[in-house]
Each structure stands twice: as structure tokens, then as C-alpha cells.
Structure 1
């Protein structure tokens, strides 16, 4: 009788350990997928930022009528060029 109880207890423990191991592996895979997703998102953000910066860099400042707007774009161009020079 005691042996049967011990065997059942060991069986339950083994089942729980297997379940925990599977759960741990699934969490690890999920974490890796999330990390990959974040890397891709960062890359997409950087690409979009570069596209927007390129629009500013290639903007013809002589076509801007208002001096304060022109100054803003000049400052932005300088900031972008300095950022890219590093």
C-alpha cells in the first residue's frame, strides 16, 4: 500500500516536472520571439526615421518662403548631419 502511494506520488511529481520543463521551454521560445520582434521594430523605426531625415536633407531651403521655417529646417539639417557624422 505504501509502495503504491509512493509510486503514485513519484508519478505525479514526474508529470509536474515534465510540465514545468515544457512550460519553461515555451517561455524561453516566446521570449526569444519577442526579442526578435523588438529588434525588427527598432530597425523599422530607424529606417522610417532615416527616410524622414532624408526628406529634410534633400529639401530645397530656397523654396521655403518664411524665414523662421527656413531656419528651423537649416537647424534640422545641421542636427541630422552631425548625428550621421558619428
Structure 2
């Protein structure tokens, strides 16, 4: 009877070990997939930046058609607006990192 219990215990322990190994493998696969997606996003962002830079550096005097020149001018404005908004957001986050709860509830200062 004790032999049967030991066999059952061994089977359960082996099953638990197998489950843990399968879990660990799956977690590594998911981490790899996440990293691949991050790299893909970085590549897309870089390609977008390169295309935007091409538009920003086009000499408008070389464009003969007024409609195309106007389209490029509008696209430049969109790009610059997007970049300024991103820069402003980054500056806000940086400021918040240094002065996150200035005078707030976490400072142990009284209300003004």
C-alpha cells in the first residue's frame, strides 16, 4: 500500500515539475514575442520619422504645382505640430518626475 502512495506521489511531483517547466517555457516565448513586437514598433517609428524628415526637407521652391506645394506645406505643419506636442508631453513628464507632488498630500504640508 505504501508503495502505491509513493508511486502516486512521484507521479504528482513529476506532473508538477512538468507543469512548471511548461509554464516557464511559455513565459519565455511570450517575452520573446513581446520583444519582437517592441522591435517592430521601433522600426515602424523609425521609418515614419525618416519619411517625415524627407517631407520637412523638401525645397518648396522646386515644386511647380501650387496644389502639391500647398499639400506639402500642410503636411509639414501636421508633422511639426505632432512633434511639438510630443516634446511638450515629454517635458511635462520630466517636470513631473522632479516635482511630482509639490505641495500635495504626500508632502506633509498644510493646504494653502
TM-score (norm: length of structure 2): 0.71
Q: Residue 17 of structure 1: CA displacement?
A: 0.4
Q: Does 1:67 align with 2:66?
A: yes
Q: Residue 59 of structure 1: CA displacement?
A: 0.5
1:28 matched residue in structure 2: 27
Q: Residue 38 of structure 1: CA displacement?
A: 1.4
Taking the aligned partners of 2:68 and 2:13, their CA distance within structure 1 comes to 71
2:17 matched residue in structure 1: 18
CA RMSD of aligned residues (A): 1.0
Q: Secondary structure at the match of 1:85?
A: helix
Q: Residue 68 of structure 1: CA displacement?
A: 1.4
**Richer in helix (by share):** 1
Taking the aligned partners of 2:65 and 2:84, their CA distance within structure 1 comes to 29
Runs (4 or more) in structure 1 with deviation over 2 Å come to: none
Q: Which runs of 5+ in 2 are unaligned?
A: 86-112
TM-score (norm: length of structure 1): 0.91
State the number of aligned residues: 85
Q: Which runs of 5+ in 1 are unaligned?
A: none
Pick 1 or 2: higher relative contact order, CA cutoff 8 A, min separation 6: 1
